[in-house]
Structure 1
Amino acid sequence: MGSKRRRENISDDAILGIDLGSTSTRVCLWCPKRKQEDIDVQNSETPGNVSKGDFPSVGYPFEPEGPVYLGSDFDPNRRPISLKYAFYALAEPDKKDDMLKQYVMATPLTSRRGDQDFRDRLMRGLRELFLVLRKEVDTTCRVQKLKISTVGISIPSQWTTDFEDVYRRIIVDVFEQSRDNIRFHTETEALAHVLLRNHRITLPECGDNMYEVYLFLDFGGHNMNGCIFNVVHGQDHDASFYRIEEPFGAGGGSEEWSYRVGEEFARRFRQQRRRSMRPEEWKAFADQFDNCKSKINPNNFNGPLNMAGWDITLDSAFISRSFEISHKNVLEEAKENIKIVSQIRGVTPYVIVSGGTANHKTVQDRLRSMCKDHGIGEPSFTNKWSISYASGRIARGVAYAAGSRLTFNQFLERGAAFGIQRRQNPTRGNGNPDGEWDSVAELLFNKSVQTALEVSAGSGRDEFKIICDPFFEPGETPNKLHFDHCYDFLLLGKLRRGDWKITFSVTGSQASPSLVLESSFAYSRISKNGKGRAVKTLNVGHYTTNPLPMSFDGGANCYFVDDEHFDSDQFCRPLPTRLTEDVTEAEFETPDDSEGEDHQSGCSDSEFVPVVGEYASSPNEVENRITNNATIAHQQNAGLATEFPTTRSRLVPDENCQAPVAAMGPSIPNAQPNELPRKEVNSPRSRYAKRVEVHGGHPLMTSRRPLDTGQDTRELSTAPVIAGLRRPEKPANYEHTAKVQVTRWVEAACDHPPFHGRSSKDA
């Protein structure tokens, strides 16, 4: 009896998913351990203006006293407004953009953001809303014997760190959760997770192709969010997916249309009645317009709009114009991304559309026309699918995303591979006039290749970066990664002239892995000294980075690295140690860099001078002692390693030489999880994204969603940082003196034609 009672008191960990919509809020619990369907926490009451099971998101903050959130009740004497709009007044949006201009329906709140008492009312309303959710969640957890371990929250892609900070404070306060257990994911990332996980049979498929590309567009009431996901089918027919490109979004939609029409109606009401509309009159008008606007065709709307009960009309031109203004941003954003996926070669892209605004026939017709104009099949509208409790799907999806965790070993076992990609400097009209990244990258690191990679930096003007293919499958060229399979991982910069060896190592624990990069170079030149003697100079250098924290993003389903403390100048241009030796006249006759001759691949082995002491006698031996011991063993029988070994050796110069070497990162077998600083996030790039544009590619976009600061030793942070935008400053004393002859890497290694577009190739 006692044993049975103890079993009954045991609770399993669950992930709580919360989707705060502008009209209603949805909540879901997901227990990965139980391998069962998720549990929708539904509202037992049924308000008339929201979907069954949803919790209304409306509050009454305009009065100085009284409760702000009334749940399913309605107060006819007070003016309601969505509490989701409160975040636009409580957060501090980026002053550099015009985001607030896209959310005019939040103006009644944002216009009073300087009033601290009013801000307190908004915070009170949000707390009251989430306290209602907490009560229902606690009841469900008791019945289902669950305890919350992680909270996943869906947010618009445009929300910045300040929005997350406000949201996080509320969740910590109401749900009594550690801030480290709170994960943010964009609304369409959540939508993609639930559709790709639970409704694969409903999504269109492209036959026997290994890859599928889906553009998800979620047209909510006050904004549209979108993202592109790649689905990869393995030989066992299981499908994995990861996000490519940045999540994107724009303000606008059906709620803005209602707001603009309502503001004009209220203005005419004041002119005619000599008074403002009372709250019950405002609600009556809003209900009437919301009920009829689905039948209004702004392209063919004749005659005025007569609202029953009032002798006030709105002309058709205004109704149509307000529709266009309210939907302009969201439709333009959708059109731009439909164009992007239409230029992906090798696959058939599909457009999946959801959200209340997308229920309007005119919006659907516009989207169909966009797809047709760009050669894509008709979009699929999820409101036509038979999905039980459809309004709760984003809450389910954000729970899945927040609960998605891979150790770095598992990421490698799944097929992840890292490579070094080059962008050759265009010189003299030769080589790379458009400044494109090479189509292939040399394999640097995966579960079976963990040795130093030799790289010839050529002139010292070429740019390099590390890219990652989450599902690398060696083909005819097993050591080549194709750029259109990859996303940007870390921008290295311009390696100085010479022959290089670069090592990718992983240190730390499975819960908190870090990247350590080692670089070494050797370069020789022949010149005459001041006495007229011919001498050969050998330059060698070495640099090791401190550990750079890595983290897994459940929304993107990929690993990223925090590059805040990555010193590109130190890595690419370490101060060299120089050794000289007299040479014969015959050797001096060979043209060298000082005489302005081009060098295609830096230096050959025969150009290096044997040296004594700790230096090697050839460029290939300069780094023979710098091995990649800090690697992850693929253990077939013992399972995945739980710690990464960190022992490594390094080059030690002759005692008379002063070669600067960066301090090695300490061995950290018991490392604590990384607290990553908030930074902008760049996205994984498009697989098979061979888009062709006349004037080259677009610049790499950055997400407005900053990274999470997770510290839980059991889990990794879910909003990582990836290098891609920042370009290292050129040293002030660096001069381009050599002529450059740039040669393309072997194009035959690439199975696809050249590409111009926004991807890892032209970030």
Structure 2
Amino acid sequence: MVKTKAARNGPPKPVTIGIDIGSVSSRAFIYGAPDGLEIPVNNKSYQILKSSGRYLTGDFSSSGYPFDDRGPVYLGEDTSPDRQVVSLKYGPYVLVNTSDSLLQEYLLVGPLMERRHDVKFRDRLRRGLEDLFRVIEARVKEICKRERLQIVEIALTIPAQWTLVFEDLYRNIVADVFKCPSSNIFFCTETEALANFLLTDHLEDLGEDGCHHEVILLLDFGGHSANGCMFEVIQGEDGESSFFQIGKSFGVGGGSEQWEYAIGERCTQLFMDGHPAAMTFQRRQNCLDQFNRKKANLGPGFEASVRFSIDDEGVPWFLTVKKEDIDKCWEQAYCGPLKVASDSIAQVAKLDAVYHCCPLVVVAGGSGRHGTLRQRLTEMCKRANLREPFFIDDLNSTYGTSNIARGAAYAIGNRLTTARFFERGAAIGIQMRQGIRNPNALWDNTAKFLTSTDRQKPQTFNATGRDEFQLVCDPVFSTRVNKEDENRLYYTKCYNLLYLGKLAGGKWCFVLTLEGEGDNMWLVVNRSRKPFKRKSRWTDVRTDRLPLYFDAGANCVHVGVRGRSLKELDLQLPELAGEEYEEYYEQIAAADEGEGGEDDSQQHVERQLQQGTEEKRETMTTVWVGGRTTVSESEELQRAKLAPLTPTTESKAEFQAMAALARRAKPAGSLRNLERVDPLEPRRRKTPPMMSAFQNRDHLGTRPKDED
């Protein structure tokens, strides 16, 4: 049962608010874990644009008027027909340094970009965004006062294409409006939020009887853009489930708003060609409102043109947009989303043969309601021998327009600390993609276990110099492992944690250690190599102390620091490729010449293990923040995490002194192909039904490991 009331006595209850800024309207949702308090933040205004049918009563308008200074930029649900209007969701494209390639996907930003160098215009645009959030904040504040709630975390949704600069803009605005510390503001992509909602509340509706292993492709067709992600759902023997992303989240501009914009341009052209008066903003908006009411039965597959009535000083004036023009505008607006859908459906179909899964395409979003789009998606699935797509509109879901805001609140409100993620059974292993006798370039289907919270196992293995390696993580390894598999991770149940690249030829030893607690944890990676020489010794190639963070939106641990790019962190694991890589091999091989002495592998492993456990250190303090106990970082710890990371065992000079035979200690790994991944953990309000992690794989299969 969904609870919508909080206790009226006692201290305020800490809750999370999810906010989804849409292109037409915006929604907010309050969620309180662990008892499942849920309150939709409804707009009290009833002056919704009922005549245009654009959105439901309860949503907040996303429209603004930044092009002139004749009044406020944000009017809420009121309108100003004689002023030029635009969705405030397009404001960030002007306020940040957006790439040209991204701008080309959005026709509606054209009028905004023409004035991007106008300081006053930019100020009005930002003020409009601030006022939109202020209206939401005022309504949230009213609810919190009545229900005795305290907002301690804010979850914001963004399109998959938006980068950190977009997050910084939103974070600064929301922190100022809500008077909330920036550290308590989190982000997740719109598809991450939607997946949290679906797999928390409607997993049973998506499943197929007898199918214990599914791959689900989620496609969200919004008015502003189309976004998607692909993830894998595994039903465990105990009834629990896990799901993992395959690939990375994706998005492209296009949808019903661009279709409507193109129709508006066509109406303007027809009116100017046949009428001496100007096409005012009011006349244009009137045409668009008429089109919006009729568009469900327009476009490819429908035989209708559309006739618009325009008031000309009390006298009706008509213009007609032909079916050919309507269809052309539709195809242009949906070209990008349909291409992305076609490619991803073809990809998910291939996974059936690899993982013996039951692929399912799930479709969401307002633009996804159009009959022609539904028909084409159904045909794509049929050609790929997949089930018919599942349309979220068919779900019996309360507060339907708030699903993304609700999913964001679920993701942030139920998030784990980094330590808790590992305490629940996560384990890290190392996986190989063999460079010899591997014509299809497939990764091995198992990885060697390296570490978890309750144990660690140093692993030694041979590398030819052509093999690639990566660290992978199984989020629930300890909960399902048996004695036979205690040192083996199955890749279909893992996600990629860190790409290491090609390792130089020789015998390698890896020892991994987890340090810290709470949200302040590091992964210490000790790597040693013994060349393929009859008389050679183990050499401490390097030790990396890598920060870990829990991505609240993706609900999984990654390498790095939240809110900062990996390039900015300077992890000192540069990519080695081509001639530079071969030169590095030659340098190591030259340094190996003449090595003597023997060193027992087991003794070396024990020394490595002892070294890793001796480097534990206390790093945490506990403070009281926002009505809950929170782990915070000391200033010294913050400086350590934000400073460029360097090997902890020795500096370059010390290493050269230790390597008497001029061995050069360049790192053998890389961060190539390490993209942001989108793991999720679908959870119920009281007891999480599953652990989840998104998997960032750049292939469509794995291969059995050669026994020899």
TM-score range for the pair, normalised by the shorter chain length: 0.7 to 0.9
Match of 2:363 in 1: 353
| Contact 2:65/2:73 (<8 A) preserved | yes
Match of 2:259 in 1: 257
**1:377 Cα offset (Å):** 0.8
Q: Distance in 2 between matches of 1:263 and 1:7?
A: 54
**Alignment CA distance shift 1:313-1:237 (3 Å):** same
What is the DSSP-based 3-state SS (H/G/I as helix, E as strand, rest coil) of the residue aligned with 1:337? helix
Q: Distance in 2 between matches of 1:388 and 1:722?
A: 30
What is the DSSP-based 3-state SS (H/G/I as helix, E as strand, rest coil) of the residue aligned with 1:43? coil
- AA matched with 1:435: A
**1:411 Cα offset (Å):** 2.5
1:322 aligns with 2:291: no
Q: Distance in 1 between matches of 2:328 and 2:657?
A: 79
Match of 1:728 in 2: none
Q: How does 1:246-285 map to 2 (within 5 A)?
A: 246-285=248-287
- TM-score, normalisation: structure 1: 0.74
Q: Distance in 2 between matches of 1:419 and 1:84?
A: 42
User: Could you tell which deviates more after superposition, 119-128 or 278-287?
Assistant: 278-287
| Contact 1:242/1:557 (<8 A) preserved | no
What is the DSSP-based 3-state SS (H/G/I as helix, E as strand, rest coil) of the residue aligned with 1:312? strand
Match of 2:645 in 1: none
What is the DSSP-based 3-state SS (H/G/I as helix, E as strand, rest coil) of the residue aligned with 1:623? helix
User: Could you tell which deviates more after superposition, 468-477 or 306-315?
Assistant: 468-477
Q: Distance in 2 between matches of 1:468 and 1:86?
A: 38
Aligned mate of 1:681, from 638, 658, 675: 675
Match of 1:467 in 2: 472
Match of 2:603 in 1: 621
Q: Distance in 2 between matches of 1:654 and 1:58?
A: 63
Q: Distance in 1 between matches of 2:593 and 2:350?
A: 52
| Contact 1:222/1:254 (<8 A) preserved | yes
**Alignment CA distance shift 1:296-1:619 (3 Å):** same
What is the DSSP-based 3-state SS (H/G/I as helix, E as strand, rest coil) of the residue aligned with 1:466? strand
Q: Higher helix fraction: Structure 1 or Structure 2?
A: 2
**1:335 Cα offset (Å):** 1.4
1:393 aligns with 2:375: no
- AA matched with 1:286: L
Q: How does 1:163-182 map to 2 (within 5 A)?
A: 163-182=166-185
| Contact 1:191/1:393 (<8 A) preserved | yes
- Max Rg structure: 1
| Contact 2:514/2:523 (<8 A) preserved | yes
User: Could you tell which deviates more after superposition, 503-512 or 132-141?
Assistant: 503-512
**Alignment CA distance shift 1:505-1:723 (3 Å):** farther
Point out where structure 1 has 5 or more consecutive residues left out of the alignment.
1-5, 527-536, 582-607, 611-615, 634-641, 644-648, 664-676, 687-719, 726-743, 750-763
| Contact 1:550/1:559 (<8 A) preserved | yes
1:518 aligns with 2:539: no
Q: Distance in 1 between matches of 2:109 and 2:674?
A: 25
| Contact 1:268/1:312 (<8 A) preserved | yes
Aligned mate of 1:555, from 553, 558, 562: 553
Q: Distance in 2 between matches of 1:156 and 1:655?
A: 51
Match of 2:501 in 1: 493
**Alignment CA distance shift 1:656-1:288 (3 Å):** closer
Q: How does 1:444-483 map to 2 (within 5 A)?
A: 444-447=450-453, 449-457=455-463, 459-472=464-477, 473-474=480-481, 477-483=485-491
**1:650 Cα offset (Å):** 8.5
| Contact 1:58/1:83 (<8 A) preserved | yes
1:368 aligns with 2:364: no
**1:408 Cα offset (Å):** 3.8
- AA matched with 1:351: V
User: Could you tell which deviates more after superposition, 48-57 or 461-470?
Assistant: 461-470
Match of 2:387 in 1: 377
1:26 aligns with 2:27: yes
Aligned mate of 1:54, from 51, 56, 59: 59
Q: Distance in 2 between matches of 1:263 and 1:199?
A: 41
Match of 1:39 in 2: 39
**1:747 Cα offset (Å):** 4.8
1:410 aligns with 2:398: no
**Alignment CA distance shift 1:9-1:659 (3 Å):** farther
| Contact 1:522/1:622 (<8 A) preserved | no
Q: Distance in 2 between matches of 1:656 and 1:75?
A: 75
How far does the alpha carbon of each residue in 1:374-428 deviate from its partner, in whole angstroms, 9 at most, with x for none? Answer: 11111111222222220011111111112232234432344322221222224xx
**1:351 Cα offset (Å):** 1.6
User: Could you tell which deviates more after superposition, 565-574 or 340-349?
Assistant: 565-574
Aligned mate of 1:338, from 330, 337, 345: 345
Q: Distance in 2 between matches of 1:365 and 1:82?
A: 29
**Alignment CA distance shift 1:62-1:119 (3 Å):** same
Match of 1:666 in 2: none
Match of 1:593 in 2: none
**1:555 Cα offset (Å):** 2.8
**1:580 Cα offset (Å):** 5.5
How far does the alpha carbon of each residue in 1:313-353 deviate from its partner, in whole angstroms, 9 at most, with x for none? Answer: 22221111111011010111111111222122321122211
Q: Distance in 2 between matches of 1:392 and 1:83?
A: 19
Q: Distance in 1 between matches of 2:453 and 2:507?
A: 25
Aligned mate of 2:89, from 84, 91, 100: 84
User: Could you tell which deviates more after superposition, 557-566 or 62-71?
Assistant: 557-566
**Alignment CA distance shift 1:61-1:89 (3 Å):** same
Match of 2:684 in 1: none
**1:432 Cα offset (Å):** 2.2
| Contact 1:681/1:721 (<8 A) preserved | no
**1:505 Cα offset (Å):** 0.6
What is the DSSP-based 3-state SS (H/G/I as helix, E as strand, rest coil) of the residue aligned with 1:467? strand
Q: Distance in 1 between matches of 2:216 and 2:293?
A: 32
What is the DSSP-based 3-state SS (H/G/I as helix, E as strand, rest coil) of the residue aligned with 2:430? strand
- TM-score, normalisation: structure 2: 0.79
**1:183 Cα offset (Å):** 0.8
**Alignment CA distance shift 1:579-1:748 (3 Å):** closer
**Alignment CA distance shift 1:326-1:632 (3 Å):** farther
Q: Distance in 2 between matches of 1:67 and 1:655?
A: 68
**1:298 Cα offset (Å):** 1.5
What is the DSSP-based 3-state SS (H/G/I as helix, E as strand, rest coil) of the residue aligned with 2:203? coil
| Contact 1:305/1:315 (<8 A) preserved | yes
**1:60 Cα offset (Å):** 1.3
Match of 1:710 in 2: none
| Contact 1:17/1:398 (<8 A) preserved | yes
**1:722 Cα offset (Å):** 11
Q: Distance in 2 between matches of 1:748 and 1:466?
A: 21
| Contact 1:493/1:568 (<8 A) preserved | no
The number of aligned residues is 614
| Contact 1:488/1:684 (<8 A) preserved | no
Q: Distance in 2 between matches of 1:211 and 1:511?
A: 32
